[in-house]
Amino acid sequence: MSGPVYPYGGRQGEVGLYDFLLGRTYSSPVFEFDPTRPKWQQIAEVVRQRIASGEYPVRGLISEVKLESEFGVARETVRKATAALREEGLIITTRGMGSFVKER
């Protein structure tokens, strides 16, 4: 059986042992990125909208792992997005705890 190999030895539609143990899946993300803009900017925009709408409440945790899975991107891409939101004063990050929506 041939085909593309995915992270940690899995093939499309399969989950490798490492991913299984961590609860990761590599399904196709629902979000479609605009190829003319960096992905981290688009993720930051979505999170910004969720904060404004109240979907992410004040002091609510913004999970990098969930964003990584939802958007199908690397952790570094999510971290660039959270860094931008932190610079804007929308979130606060506490080492070892995560990123939280900041009170205005």
pTM: 0.72
The full set of domain ranges for the chain reads 1-30, 34-101
Q: CATH for 34-101?
A: 1.10.10.10
Q: Return the H-helix or E-strand segment holding 61.
A: strand 61-62
Torsions phi, psi for 65 (to 5 deg): -65, -45
Quick one: pLDDT at residue 49?
97
**Using CA atoms, how far apart are residues 46 and 56, in angstroms rounded to an integer?**
11
**Using CA atoms, how far apart are residues 100 and 86, in angstroms rounded to an integer?**
10
Would you say 40 and 81 are in contact if contact means Cβ atoms under 8 Å apart? yes
**Residues with pLDDT less than 50, the chain:** 1-13
**How are strands ordered across the β-sheet holding 91-94?**
61-62, 98-101, 91-94
**Using CA atoms, how far apart are residues 43 and 81, in angstroms rounded to an integer?**
6
